[in-house]
């Protein structure tokens, strides 16, 4: 027995604890493994994150450029 449950009472207590953790959104019972995750996986995740950050920065830059052009247009319209 992995968790040392040997009696019905132990099983009921374990089930109650499990249900409480699920209701609280806890991850107390997340599987713990001894998997070896290859370095390329982490590198791929890092590259994906960098790509998303670059795309977000480009979008923000386009937004700022559009705002600047609109500001210039309004200044030209009302300052003349």
| Under 8 Å between Cβ of 54 and 46 | no
pLDDT at 29: 52
Burial class (CB in 10 A: 0-12, 13-18, 19+), 77: exposed
> Looking at the whole model, is its pTM more than 0.75?
no
The radius of gyration computed from the CA coordinates of the chain, to the nearest angstrom, equals 28
Q: Where are the domains of the chain?
A: 1-32, 38-80
pLDDT in tens, the chain (80 residues): 477 888 888 888 888 888 888 777 655 555 667 788 889 999 999 999 999 999 999 999 988 999 999 999 999 999 86
């Amino acid at each position: 027995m992995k968790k040392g449950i040997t009696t019905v009472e132990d099983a009921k207590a374990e089930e109650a604890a499990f249900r409480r953790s699920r209701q609280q959104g806890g991850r107390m019972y997340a599987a713990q493994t001894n998997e070896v995750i290859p370095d390329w996986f982490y590198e791929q995740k890092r590259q994906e994150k960098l790509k998303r950050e670059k795309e977000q920065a480009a979008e923000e830059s386009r937004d700022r450029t559009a705002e600047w052009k609109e500001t210039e247009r309004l200044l030209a319209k009302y300052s003349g």
